[in-house]
């Protein structure tokens, strides 16, 4: 007789057929019992719920039962039956149990429930085994899938932008250098600096901070494209919203203007949140119960309401007149702080806000200049509890205006000659934006810290796992 194939617990919990032989494999969450029975809650991560395994002690070697402790990994073969007990619809009456791996109850770090999220960050190698991280990781997967599905269904092509880049023109933050030079003894130029001509790529290279410039090159050929890749920023900001390594989704569309760009951003975000509400309900309900008691209503609200759209200048007026005691002053020309963004979203409009037409001096060189000569056609999407979730713009397609701006901002033309050439040959209006994937997951899961929505967070002084 060949061994039974494993069935995922998710399928067993939704079973329609009973009194059949099944096999499950997974990790023990709890074991309790009495003199004659052991009740084992087994979880395999296919779904947040575990399945109850009932073992009649008389049928098992006492030593096997002793090895089944919280955290151990076992394989169970038995009969799937409708449960007599409360709290679960089905259970397995075990006939045979094989122990794959024990977990010494004296030292297993997840022996008890109710660890703090801070403690779980210190055991990032084990935290996927908690209900919270199981839920977050399944939602993260669902969102990643939904992003590709949305774009594919809407005629976008996925472009793999490079991770190692020779340009540092984006100006989106400090970069991580990529080099094979000997750190102790690098080759020197005549002037005494490091000679990058000797480096692997023959020039200075870094990890990318954004795939946008490359996405633009592709959009001016394929019309609708997007990138979805890791980005790296050596910003030393220890906030609950910033990682040194995070994932970004950057659609770029030829012939779109700022309004089209806003429409796309709003439609895209609503689609993703709606996808989570349709496909991740078990996990969302768990997170709502554990962390944020208005999670589901907040998600539904965003799907159903229009985002407020207004100019930066109007937002500054609102913030100046509102009388709220902000830590940082508000002044036309200065970047808004997260407290300002959240005031607009959470207190004033009580809905997501898209701010546009920012002063050109606080935005990147590639943004399209407005007719007023002072602002650019930028847009930031601001979300409750998060602040900025998307940053984007219509791009400057006029070669001479772009070149003037590049010179004004002190960017080296030789670093962006290839970018400028797209404005020389067949240029056209186009627009795009960047969505921070982990900020989206923060919003959808209701988690409070960005370190808890990525499997292995990279932050200053932290790259252990």
Considering only 75-83, 184-192, 242-250, 298-306, which stretch makes contact with ligand ATP by CB under 6 A? 242-250
List % helix, strand, coil for the chain (3-state, nearest 5): 35, 25, 40
In the bound state with ligand ATP, the residue whose beta carbon lies nearer, of 76 and 316, is 316
- Residues in 373-392 that interact with Mn ion by CB under 5 A: 391
Three-state DSSP class for residue 231: strand
Q: Is the dihedral of CA 235, 237, 242, 246 positive or negative?
A: positive
- The Cα 255–Cα 246 span in angstroms is 29
Q: What is the DSSP letter of 278?
A: H
Question: Based on CB atoms, which residue is closest to Mn ion, 436 or 457?
Answer: 436
Is 229 a binding residue for ligand ATP by CB under 6 A? The answer is: no
Short-list 389, 303, 302, CA closest to 338:
389
Residues from 277 through 336 that contact ligand ATP (CB under 6 A) = none
The residue from 31, 129, 140, 233 that contacts ligand ATP (CB under 6 A) is: 233
- Looking at the DSSP bridge assignments, the partners of residue 160 are none
Max distance between CA atoms of the chain, in angstroms, equals 85
* 436 burial via Cβ count (<10 Å: 0-12, 13-18, 19+): buried
- We find the least distance from the C-beta atom of residue 355 to ligand ATP, in angstroms, to be 12
**Separation between Cα atoms, residue 403 and residue 399, nearest integer Å:** 6
State the nearest-atom distance from the C-beta of 211 to Mn ion, in Å. 15
| 290: enclosing H helix or E strand | helix 281-290
One character per residue 397-436, x = contact with ligand ATP (rule: CB under 6 A): -------------------------------------x-x
Q: Which is nearer to Mn ion, 26 or 251 (CB)?
A: 251
Distance (Å, whole) CA 441 – CA 415: 34
What does the radius of gyration of the chain's CA atoms come to, in whole angstroms?
A: 27
118-157 positions binding Mn ion, by CB under 5 A:
none
Nearer to Mn ion, 280 or 381 (CB): 381
**What region does 114 belong to: left with phi over 0, alpha with psi -120 to 50, or beta?**
left
Among 22, 97, 147, 243, the residue binding ligand ATP under the rule CB under 6 A is 243
CB under 5 to 8 A by kind: which of ligand ATP, Mn ion, none does 242 bind?
ligand ATP
Q: How far is the CB of 242 from ligand ATP (least distance, A)?
A: 4
Is residue 384 at the binding interface for ligand ATP, with CB under 6 A as the rule? Answer: no
Least spacing, CB of residue 167 vs Mn ion, in Å: 19
Residue 307 DSSP code: P
What does 355 bind: Mn ion, ligand ATP, none (CB cut-off 5 to 8 Å by kind)?
none
Return residues touching Mn ion (CB under 5 A): 391
Return residues touching ligand ATP (CB under 6 A): 172, 233, 235, 242-243, 246, 248, 388-391, 434, 436, 438-439
């Amino acid at each position: 007789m060949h061994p039974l194939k494993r069935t995922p617990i998710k399928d067993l919990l939704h079973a329609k057929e009973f009194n059949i032989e099944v096999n499950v494999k997974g990790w023990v969450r709890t074991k309790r019992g009495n003199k004659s029975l052991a009740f084992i809650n087994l979880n395999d991560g296919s779904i947040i719920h575990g399945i109850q395994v009932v073992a009649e002690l008389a049928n098992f070697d006492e030593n096997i039962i002793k090895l089944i402790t919280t955290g151990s990994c076992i394989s169970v073969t038995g009969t799937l039956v409708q449960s007599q007990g409360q709290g679960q619809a089905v259970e397995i009456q075990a006939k045979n149990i094989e122990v794959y791996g024990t977990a010494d109850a004296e030292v297993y770090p997840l022996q008890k429930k109710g660890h703090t999220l801070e403690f779980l960050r210190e055991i990032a190698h084990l935290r996927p085994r908690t209900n919270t991280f199981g839920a977050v990781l399944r939602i993260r997967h669902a969102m990643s899938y939904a992003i590709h599905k949305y774009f594919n269904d809407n005629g976008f092509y996925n472009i793999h932008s490079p991770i190692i880049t020779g340009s540092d023109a984006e100006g989106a933050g400090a970069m991580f250098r990529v080099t094979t030079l000997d750190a102790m003894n690098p080759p020197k130029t005549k002037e005494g600096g490091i000679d990058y001509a000797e480096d692997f790529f023959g020039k200075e290279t870094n990890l990318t901070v954004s795939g946008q410039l490359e996405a633009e090159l592709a959009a001016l050929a394929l019309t609708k494209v997007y990138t979805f890749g890791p980005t790296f920023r050596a910003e030393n900001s220890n906030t609950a919203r910033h990682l040194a390594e995070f994932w970004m989704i950057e659609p770029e569309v030829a012939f779109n203007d700022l309004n089209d760009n806003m429409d796309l951003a709003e439609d895209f975000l609503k689609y993703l949140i709606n996808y989570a509400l349709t496909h991740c309900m078990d996990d969302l309900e768990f997170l709502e119960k554990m962390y944020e008691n208005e999670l589901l209503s907040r998600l539904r609200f965003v799907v159903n309401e229009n985002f407020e759209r207004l100019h930066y200048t109007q937002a500054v007026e609102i913030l100046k007149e509102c009388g709220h005691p902000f830590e940082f002053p508000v002044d036309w020309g200065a970047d808004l702080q997260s407290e300002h963004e959240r005031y607009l979203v959470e207190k004033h409009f009580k809905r997501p806000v898209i701010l546009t037409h920012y002063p050109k001096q606080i935005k990147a060189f590639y943004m399209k200049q407005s007719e007023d000569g002072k602002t650019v056609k930028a847009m930031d999407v601001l979300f409750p509890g998060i602040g900025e979730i998307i940053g984007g713009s219509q791009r400057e397609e006029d070669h001479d205006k772009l070149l003037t701006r590049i010179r004004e901002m002190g960017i080296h033309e030789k670093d962006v000659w290839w970018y400028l050439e797209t404005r020389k040959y067949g240029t056209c209006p186009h627009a795009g934006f960047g969505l921070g994937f982990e900020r989206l997951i923060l919003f959808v899961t209701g988690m409070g810290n960005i370190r808890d929505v990525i499997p292995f967070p990279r932050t200053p002084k932290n790259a252990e796992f």
